[in-house]
Structure 1
Amino acid sequence: MEENVKNESHAFRNFVTGVVIGSVVGSITALLLAPKSGKELRKDLESQASIILDKTGEVRNTLVERSEHWKEQANDAAIKLSEAVKSQTKEIVDKVQQVKREHMDSPEKVLEEAKERIAMLSKEIDELQASKK
């Protein structure tokens, strides 16, 4: 997703650069090649400068809108990632605590089972000794 946004941003930046450069070159070429008086040339220059400023303002507004959109997408992605990390962390902590509880109970259980088995073996040994007499 991030790479797609970068590609989109790069392509849009190239387009805007091309529009601005094309406008400037076209305006200068038209003004220099047109046979006009000084006053007419100044008026044309002012007019072209005004048009360029308007277009630049439009491009700026478009860039601001797109950057806000990209910012929202980045924030949404960050929130989703944060939630996923929190969820995974909680699951891991719960599992660790469960394993810890199981192993904490385990020594007592093992000791109890060992005692029971020792008692059973002791009883069997006594029975075997009694049967041999």
Structure 2
Amino acid sequence: MSEAVGTNKGGLLLGLVIGGAVGAVASLLFAPKAGSELREDLSNTYRTLNDKTSKLASTVGQKTQEIVSSVCETTQDIAATASEKAKDIVSTVSEKSQEIGSKASDVIDKAKESKQLVAESLQAATSNSSHGSNNNQH
């Protein structure tokens, strides 16, 4: 909102300067004066306008530099924050990946152990049933 107010003030100031210049030139041209007086008044008005325009241009240049500096600083701050957040995310993802890998490895080891236990149980059951059927036949 302050940028809009600043822009409106600059436009108003420029309008006042141009309006003043047009009014001054018109009053000089329509005033009953001798040619040399008219030329001197026009010359003075031109110098005044030139000075005001130079000051206005200088002010606009300074404000522009301030805005550019502010935007640059803000952009650098945003970039630094984004970089830090990205590093945090990468670190978190890496930690979670390691945790998941470790848990997956544990699950795989337990599955292998369970498979081994089931195989041993089946083998024992098969052995027992074949021994039991042999005992029934004798």
Question: How many angstroms does 1:64 deviate by?
Answer: 1.1
Question: How many residue pairs are counted as aligned between the two chains?
Answer: 127
CA distance in 2, matches of 1:107, 1:89: 26
1:12-51 alpha-carbon deviations (Å, 9 max, x no partner): 3312321232122111222023110111100000000000
CA distance in 2, matches of 1:87, 1:74: 20
Q: Which structure ranks higher in relative contact order (CA pairs < 8 Å, sequence separation ≥ 6)?
A: 1
Structure 1: state its 5+ residue gaps: 127-133
CA distance in 2, matches of 1:63, 1:85: 32
Task: Work out which of the residue numbers 45, 49, 53 in structure 2 matches 1:48.
Answer: 45
CA distance in 2, matches of 1:43, 1:111: 100
Structure 2: state its 5+ residue gaps: 125-138
Which residue of 1 is the match for residue 31 of structure 2?
Answer: 34
Task: Work out which of the residue numbers 11, 20, 23 in structure 1 matches 2:20.
Answer: 23
Structure number with larger C-alpha Rg: 2
Which residue of 2 is the match for residue 110 of structure 1?
Answer: 107
Q: Percent identity?
A: 25
> What one-letter code is carried by the residue in structure 1 that aligns with 2:98?
R
Task: Work out which of the residue numbers 85, 95, 106 in structure 2 matches 1:88.
Answer: 85
Over 3 Å counting, the alpha-carbon distance change for 1:104 and 1:54 in structure 2 is: same
CA distance in 2, matches of 1:118, 1:25: 99
CA distance in 1, matches of 2:97, 2:107: 15
| Stretch of structure 1 that moved more, 50-59 or 107-116 | 107-116
Over 3 Å counting, the alpha-carbon distance change for 1:57 and 1:24 in structure 2 is: same
Q: Are positions 1:99 and 2:90 aligned together?
A: no
Over 3 Å counting, the alpha-carbon distance change for 1:4 and 1:122 in structure 2 is: farther
> What one-letter code is carried by the residue in structure 2 that aligns with 1:15?
L
Q: When the two structures are superposed, what TM-score results if normalisation uses the length of structure 2?
A: 0.76
* SS of equivalent residue, structure 1 residue 36: coil
Q: When the two structures are superposed, what TM-score results if normalisation uses the length of structure 1?
A: 0.78
Aligned-residue Cα RMSD (Å) equals 2.7
Question: How many angstroms does 1:77 deviate by?
Answer: 0.8
1:51-86 alpha-carbon deviations (Å, 9 max, x no partner): 000000110111111111101110111011101110
CA distance in 2, matches of 1:70, 1:19: 24
Which residue of 2 is the match for residue 130 of structure 1?
Answer: none
